[in-house]
A = this chain, B = another copy of it.
Amino acid sequence: MAQNIPYKIYLNENELPKQWYNLRADMKNKPAPLLNPGTGKPMKAEELEPVFCSELVKQELDNETRFFDIPEEIYNFYKMYRPSPLVRAYFLEKKLGTPAKIYYKFEGNNTSGSHKLNSAIAQAYYAKKQGLKGVTTETGAGQWGTALSMACSFFGLDCKVFMVKVSYEQKPFRREVMRTYGASVTPSPSTETEVGRKILEAHPGTTGSLGCAISEAVEVAVKSEGYRYVLGSVLNQVLLHQSVIGLETKAALDKYGIKPDMIIGCAGGGSNLGGLIAPFMGEKLRGEADYRIIAVEPASCPSFTRGVYAYDFCDTGMVCPLAKMYTLGSDFIPSANHAGGLRYHGMSSILSQLYDDKLMEAVSVKQTDVFEAAELFARVEGILPAPESSHAIRVAIDEALKCKETGEEKTIVFGLTGTGYFDMVAYEKFHDKEMSDYIPTDDELAAFRARLPKIG
C-alpha cells in the first residue's frame, strides 16, 4: 500500500472544495453565543454589524447551515495556491524508525507563509462586496497581517494593521512584506486611538500585546466611515473558512483509502485546528467514524490544559463582546521569551465546547522541545517550519515514537500551518541555547483567573 502513495498528494484543481463546511451544524451542544458586555445578553446581528461585515456576521451567528458556497472570486483566488499538498513524511518516518505512517497537510506554500490566507481572502471579499473602503486588524507574529495585506491588495481595499510593538521592532521584514502589498502598519499601542493612548499612559514602556492591538483596530474600524474590523482566528466565521484545509485533507486521504487514527494540530486561537479537524469531527459527531483529535498548545500559554471554561473578554481594552472559551484571563501575556505565535489568552468557542464535551484532547509542549522537533523536521523533510506549526510536529513525533515502542502502525495526520522564514531570531536563540522554557506557576494563573468577568 505505502509504496503506491506518493510523497505529495495533490488534488486536482476541480477537486478543490466548492463549499465550506460549518461544523456547528453537527454539534449537539452548540458553542456558547457572544454576549454584550453591557447587558450580558447574546449579541444580535445588528449589534455586531458596526464592527464586522454583514455577510460575516451571518456566518458568525449561523449554527445550523451545514455548507456555505465558496463565492467564485474567492474560489479563483484559492486556485492560486490551493489545493495544498498532503505530504507523506517518508523521510521523517525513516529517521524515527517508526512503523507509524505520518502525513502532514502543508499550508505554507503561499507568500503569506501560512493558512491564514484562507480566511483573509474571504473576509476581504465580503468587505469589498459590501462596498467598504477598507478593513482594520491586528497582527502579532505577522502571519495574519501579511495574509490580510495580500487579500486586500487583490481586491483593492485599504488595509490598516496594528502590529504588536515588540513584533514591529523585531520583525522589520514582516512589516516590509505588508508594505509590498500596500498595507499601512502601525506599532501598537499607538497614539492614534483613544484606547492606545490610555494604555500608553498606564504602561509607558509597554511593548504591546495582541489583546491591546485588537482594541485599537476595533476602535479605528468603528470610528471610520466605510471600515470594518476583521480577525484572523477564534471566531466561528474563521473556522468556517478554514474548513477548506480539512476538506482537502479528507479528500486526499479518501482518494488513497487512508483512514487516520489521529489528527494533530497546533492551537492558538484555533483557526488552523478548527479547520483541519472539521470534517473528521463532523463524522465523529454524527457517529460515522472515530478519531483521536489532539490540540497542541505551548506550555507557556496553556489555555486548554490549564485554563478555565468561562466567559471572558476577547481584548485588553474590553471593547469586544464577551466569548465563552477556555481562557487564561484577558490580561494574561505569556513570557516574552516565548518565540512563536499561539500567544492568545483564549480559544475558539467551537473548540472550547468540543473540548469540554471530551470530543478532543489537548497537550502542552515546552518551547525547546518544539524547536528540537522543528530542526529535526527541517533537516529530513526539507521544510523550515514556523514555530507555531512545530508544536504539532513535536506531538506527531512523540506519537510516532510511541508506535515505535508498541509496534503499532498507526496513521498520524498533522497540520503544518506555515513556514518559519521570518522566525530566524527564534531559531538563532535556540541554536545559541538562549531559549528558555518558562512556564507560568499555578499562583500566577490563579491571579489572572481571579480577574475574569463574573458572567455566564
Chain A interface residues toward B at CB < 8 A = 6-8, 10, 12-13, 77, 79-81, 91, 109-111, 113, 150, 153-154, 172-173, 176-177, 179-182, 375, 378-384, 419, 421-422, 424-425, 427-428, 431
* CB contact under 8 A between A153 and B81, given known A172-B424, A424-B176, A427-B176: no
Contact of A419 with B180 in the complex, beta carbons under 8 Å: no
* CB contact under 8 A between A419 and B111, given known A91-B80, A154-B379: yes
Inter-chain contacts of A431 with B (CB < 8 A):
176, 179-180
Inter-chain contacts of A172 with B (CB < 8 A):
424, 428
Nearest CB on B from A262, distance (A): 24
Contact of A180 with B375 in the complex, beta carbons under 8 Å: yes
Inter-chain contacts of A77 with B (CB < 8 A):
382
* CB contact under 8 A between A177 and B109, given known A79-B8, A80-B7, A91-B80: no
Inter-chain contacts of A113 with B (CB < 8 A):
421
Inter-chain contacts of A421 with B (CB < 8 A):
113, 173, 177, 421-422
Contact of B428 with A176 in the complex, beta carbons under 8 Å: yes
Contact of A424 with B177 in the complex, beta carbons under 8 Å: yes
**Which of B79, B81, B424 is A173 in contact with, Cβ under 8 Å?**
B424
Inter-chain contacts of A12 with B (CB < 8 A):
6
Q: List 16 A-B contacts (CB under 8 A).
A: A6-B79, A8-B80, A80-B381, A111-B383, A111-B384, A111-B419, A173-B173, A173-B421, A173-B424, A173-B425, A176-B425, A176-B427, A177-B424, A177-B427, A179-B431, A182-B379
User: Which 9 residue pairs of A and B lie closest in terms of their CB atoms, listed nearest first?
Assistant: A173-B424, A176-B424, A6-B13, A421-B421, A7-B79, A111-B384, A80-B382, A153-B379, A176-B428
Inter-chain contacts of A384 with B (CB < 8 A):
111, 177, 180
Contact of B154 with A380 in the complex, beta carbons under 8 Å: yes
* CB contact under 8 A between A180 and B378, given known A111-B383, A424-B172: yes
Inter-chain contacts of A7 with B (CB < 8 A):
13, 79-80
* CB contact under 8 A between A382 and B13, given known A7-B80, A424-B176: no
Interface centre among A180, A378, A427 (most CB of B within 10 A): A180
Inter-chain contacts of A422 with B (CB < 8 A):
173, 421
- Alpha-carbon separation in the docked complex, A428 to B6 (Å): 40
- Alpha-carbon separation in the docked complex, A13 to B381 (Å): 17
Nearest CB on B from A185, distance (A): 12
- Alpha-carbon separation in the docked complex, A36 to B195 (Å): 72
Inter-chain contacts of A110 with B (CB < 8 A):
382-383
Inter-chain contacts of A383 with B (CB < 8 A):
110-111
Nearest CB on B from A104, distance (A): 12
Inter-chain contacts of A182 with B (CB < 8 A):
379
- Alpha-carbon separation in the docked complex, A30 to B375 (Å): 45
- Alpha-carbon separation in the docked complex, A378 to B378 (Å): 26
Beyond the given A81-B382, A181-B379, could you list 9 further A-B residue pairs with CB under 8 A, ordered by the A residue number? A8-B79, A111-B382, A113-B421, A172-B424, A176-B427, A177-B384, A180-B427, A421-B421, A421-B422
Using CB atoms, name the residue of chain B closest to A146. B384
Inter-chain contacts of A6 with B (CB < 8 A):
12-13, 79
- Alpha-carbon separation in the docked complex, A91 to B73 (Å): 12
Nearest CB on B from A77, distance (A): 8
- Alpha-carbon separation in the docked complex, A381 to B180 (Å): 13
- Alpha-carbon separation in the docked complex, A25 to B380 (Å): 35
**Which of B91, B111, B378, B428 is A181 in contact with, Cβ under 8 Å?**
B378
Nearest CB on B from A399, distance (A): 22
Using CB atoms, name the residue of chain B closest to A12. B6
